[in-house]
Structure 1
Amino acid sequence: MTDAWVLNPDRALPAGELRPPAREIYASTAGLPLVSMHGHVDVSVFADDQPFPDPAQLLVVPDHYLVRMVVSQGRVTLPEMGVRPVGGDAGEAETDPRTIWRRFCENWHLFRGTPTRYWLEHELVEVFGATVRPSAETADILYDQISAALARPDFRPRALFEKFGLEIIATTDPATADLAQHHALAAEGWGERVVPTFRPDPLLHVDRVDWRDQLESLSDVSGVDAGDYEGYLSALRQRRRAFVEAGARATDHGHLLTDTTELGTAEASRIFRGALAGEVTPAEAQAFGGHMLFQMARMSTEDGLVMQLHPGSLRDHDSGVARTFGPDKGYDIPIATEYTRSLRPLLDAFGHHPNFGFIAFTLDETTFSRELAPLAGVYPAMKLGAPWWFLDSPDGMRRYREAVTETAGFYNTSGFVDDTRAYASIPARHDLNRRIDAGYLARLVAEHRIELDEAIETAVDLAYNLPKAAYPPVKVPAVSG
């Protein structure tokens, strides 16, 4: 019989002489509210406030971090982890949640040293009260413990919102969303706690197979005919205003590349017409996408939405998996990404604009010290986003601080964003970041580069004040006439 599972209070804090000051710095942030300004939890989770499903459907099947690691060994397939083929029936994938959960627990050793291990440990112990570590022998015990918790009313989404200490959470919503669920939440008093984020990617990439369908949806929801270039821009402006009225604070753009070169109106119109006719080249589509990033920046100066850029992920690297199972199955892979030249048109035009906020993220950490920190360290409009996706890890966060602080300082960064659809992992992700920042600041104190009181003040700013400042509320424009 093993002892009950208890997490070490010093996990992820530095060893040796740095630990005592790191503990003190971390203690100053551990109880702060969570400001979750970029994530992918669906708004329906909060609007419907329904009980979560079984442990496998909550924690395993939708988590591409977890599924990709198990499948990477070649002994378990996506269907065996409960991932159903697109359009497939239940018989084409494992549907027994307890079987899926057992497969996950049998492979727990694969997560040693990964941030997924840290997040899951925090979730299982701190959120669900698990008393045993995952393993083949304990899988059923864990499953029953989590299932019992999920059956309680204090584990519904809104109750967990309070338990997690969330102050605000931003969902990510298509530009064509009608925002009805956000309006319903606002009517119930949640409008300043769950806010939308404007994500127009499918409308900006004119070579997508569904682009014309997206345009039709844009016209329908906006009430503006998006059948020509000028109408398209007007429809996008209308949707942005609708998002602002629903409480949005930001836009989000997931382009592969970072080009922001503006095209002339005639050239942009020509490419738009060609796309409508199904006659657009890859080079034209790429140029139009960069042009539209510039236009999104211009619109942000008009309406005040902070512009977020999340580039550099080559989506669906395995085309066969994408065709069979759809997107977001763990096959998105980072590419080398250039920022200095690509962002110059945007920053040259708007980098000093008083009504423009721009947050740049990267999956290419080689650009932190060479490009992004120098850019964020000089342009008033620009902030450097937190380590994201594959870099959202203990060592990735440490490398980030070491790479960017000397040039950008702390106060040209955005603070932490958790960027997750895994709702139960949000407090774990924020906790890990606060511990890593405490360790980095403790080293600066030990090296007599800053004082302890400065370190504590900086830690509080990084955890709470900077993300609030980076994503300020947007003033709803007055209706003319």
Structure 2
Amino acid sequence: MLQTFSSTTYEEHSDVTPTDAGPWTLHEDRALPADPTTRPIAHEIYQAVKDLPIVSMHGHVPVEWFADDSPFPDPAQLLVVPDHYLLRMLVSQGETLPRLGVGPVPGAAGDAEAAESDPREIWRRFCAGWKHFRGTPTRFWMETELVEIFGVTQRPSAETADAIYDQIASVIADPSFRPRALLDRFGIEVIGTTDPAWSSLEHHDRLVADGERRVLPTFRPDPVYTIDSPTFAADVERTGAAAGVDVTSYASYLEALRVQRQRFKEAGGLATDHGHHLPDTTPLPADDAARLFDKAMLVARGGDPVTGAEAAAFSAHMLFQTAAMAAEDHLVMQIHPGVERGHASAETRVFGADKGYDIPFAIDFTRSLRPMLDAFGHHPGFRTIVFTIDEDTYSRELAPMAGVYPAMRLGAPWWFLDSPEAMRRFREAATETAGFSNMSGFVDDTRAFCSIPARHDLARRVDAGYLARLVAEHRLELDEAVDTAADLAYRLPLLSYAKA
């Protein structure tokens, strides 16, 4: 008979922890298949690719970290405060953003609570909530970081928090733990940063002057495509100033974008990044686009506001224009739509974006991407990588398109889908239609620098497991599986972002 417990009994025993079984270690075959037939095959495949260099082209680590190459301040600011995966789970269990070190943005209205200033207190709250990460990819990434990077030997808990904090603090105090040195330690061959359209690229210039050429800029123009943004006009003016173009019209606006794209390319950039709400790529007549641009530039001076429909139409038009520019300058166009950003309106107003309140929604790719692919899907100079967090679209829409248009590749699972089960589902849903060669390979999407090697390690383990099943079912030979694993881990990411 199933034993039941009253709420009182649960509360009395809610702090029970397993008996200490010695130092905390990680199983070498974690995330590989459990069945005895495929596990040894997966182990062999994984061993062949686990140490390949990392290509991290779809990331958000601040370029300033590499340019300044300063020591990381403390364990909380390195591992907790910038990681929206950690924040959202802990907030869901009753913590608050200020208690986790996130303060209000400048100019936020209201009586927002000040951010916790003691990093040790932030760390204690994270460790006290460790159990809530069970079964999540965050658990895998964090335990990999803690054990393999920082040498932690105790599982996080309220009781072990201070000892773990001290261990991590001692590691990050070492000069060998500076950001540039970690590129070597993590085996990162190339890493992309995400930079606004108006970036001066001064930090990238400093890196190049110092001989560091592994950190590449990525052009992110979303704010200057969003005509209903309250900062649209100011952002356009900043972009024009950076480009040396006096933006007085839609034509000069396009010229400023072209100039900045070229500056990014000359600084080593290989891609652009577009996180639009919708993937629509329907172009507008030039006169209509110019009219909407002019209207948006006048809002700050008291002009009529831009409607949601007008903003959506201009956004779609600019994705098409971006594809046209990409066909000329060969920057790879990354598209990742379908996210309702800042879902919690009040929290987003006070604490800003990227704090865990971004929620996926269902979207249509087949019709939305058709104008762009009709025009450029077979263009020899154009390449786009399309990402999604709407799993239903893999087998129905994205894999079929990537499987026929030479200009399109299917991006790896990211954000909510860069988890073991979702990555396995991705392989099963997309491979039979797109094939491995029409995929980007694994490229992470994170601003949590120390999680990069853990994320790539998990992807390599999951791919090894999927390929092992194909070998066990006699659908691939072992040598083919190993070669494919190397493609997914290393060669395809390089090829996907290579100059056309």
TM-score bucket (shorter structure) = over 0.9
Equivalent residues in 2 for 1:243-392 (5 A)?
243-278=264-299, 279=304, 280-392=306-418
Q: Indicate the residue corresponding to 2:13 in structure 1.
A: none
Shift of 1:73: 1.5
Cα distance in 2 for residues equivalent to 1:190 and 1:347 = 36
Query: Which secondary structure does the structure 2 equivalent of 1:198 belong to?
Result: strand
Please tell me whether residue 118 in structure 1 is matched to residue 140 in structure 2.
yes
- Quote the offset at 1:93 in angstroms: 2.0
In structure 1, distance between residues paired with 2:113 and 2:397: 50
1:146-161, aligned counterparts within 5 Å? 146-161=168-183
The separation in 2 between residues aligned to 1:325 and 1:358, in whole angstroms, is 33
- After superposition, the CA RMSD in angstroms is 1.2
Does the CA contact (< 8 Å) of 1:359 and 1:385 recur in 2?
yes
Alignment correspondent of 1:229: 250
Q: Taking structure 2 as the reference length, what is the TM-score of the superposition?
A: 0.93
Decide which of 238, 257, 262 is 1:217's aligned counterpart: 238
**1:53 to partner: Cα distance:** 1.2
The answer to whether the 8 Å contact 1:215/1:227 transfers is no
Identity %: 64
1:189-229 C-alpha deviation (Å, 9 max, x unpaired): 112x1100000000001110000110110111111122210
Residue identity matched to 1:14: P
2:41 partner SS: helix
Matched, 1:139 2:165: no
Counterpart pick for 1:99 among 113, 116, 121: 121
Q: Which of 171, 181, 190 pairs up with 2:203?
A: 181
Q: CA deviation at 1:247?
A: 0.3
1:32 to 30, 38, 52: 52
> What is residue 28 of structure 2 aligned with on the other side?
9
Aligned partner of residue 333 in structure 2, secondary structure: strand
Q: Does 1:54 align with 2:80?
A: no
Q: For residue 20 of structure 1, what is the aligned residue in structure 2?
A: 40
Alpha-carbon distance, 1:274 to partner = 1.3
- Larger CA deviation: 377-386 vs 322-331: 322-331
SS in 2 for 1:195: strand
Aligned residues: 472
Give the residue type in structure 2 aligned to 1:291. H
Deviation (angstroms), 1:324:
1.1
Q: Secondary structure at the match of 1:277?
A: helix
Secondary structure of 1:401's match? helix
Give the counterpart letter for 2:34 in structure 1.
Answer: A
1:44 paired to 2:64: yes
Q: CA deviation at 1:277?
A: 2.1
What CA distance in whole angstroms lies between the structure 2 residues aligned with 1:266 and 1:67? 45
Q: Is the 8 A contact 1:415 1:467 kept in 2?
A: yes
Following the alignment from structure 1 to structure 2, what is the Cα–Cα distance between the partners of residues 140 and 452?
A: 47
**4+ runs of 1 displaced by more than 4 Å?**
88-91
Displacement after TM superposition at 1:91 (Å): 7.2
Instruction: With the length of structure 1 as denominator, give the TM-score of the two structures.
Output: 0.97
Q: In structure 1, what is the Cα distance between the partners aligned to 2:297 and 2:54?
A: 44
Counterpart in 2 of 1:457? 483
Partner of 1:396: 422
Q: Give the conservation status (yes or no) of the 8 Å contact 1:43–1:171.
A: yes
Q: Is this contact kept in 1: 2:385–2:410, CA < 8 A?
A: yes
Q: Give the 3-state SS of the residue equivalent to 2:385 in structure 1.
A: strand
Match of 2:191 in 1: 169
Q: C-alpha distance in 2, partners of 1:296/1:164?
A: 33
Structure 1 residues not aligned, in runs of 5+: 475-481
Q: Which residue of 1 aligns with 2:7?
A: none
CA deviations on 1:140-187 (whole Å, 9 max, x unpaired) are: 110000000011011111111100011010111001000011011111
Instruction: Pick from 77, 81, 98 the counterpart of residue 79 of structure 1.
Output: 98
The letter of the residue matching 1:33 is P
Contact 1:212-1:276 within 8 A present in 2 as well: yes
Question: Matched residue of 1:94: which SS?
Answer: coil
Query: Counterpart of 2:433 in structure 1: which amino acid?
Result: T
Instruction: Name the counterpart of 1:477.
Output: none
3-state SS of the aligned residue for 1:252?
Answer: strand
Q: For residues 21 and 222 of structure 1, what CA distance do their matches in structure 2 show?
A: 54
Work out the CA distance in 2 between the residues paired with 1:91 and 1:332: 22
Distance in structure 1 (CA, Å) of the matches to 2:298 and 2:208: 41
Shift of 1:232: 0.3
Instruction: Output the amino acid matched with 1:455.
Output: A
Amino acid in the other structure paired with 2:121 = T
Instruction: Please give the alpha-carbon distance, in whole angstroms, between the structure 2 residues aligned to 1:382 and 1:326.
Output: 33
Residue 8 (structure 2) aligns with = none
Structure 2: gaps spanning 5 or more residues: 1-19
Shift of 1:90: 11
CA contact (8 A) 1:247 1:473 kept: no
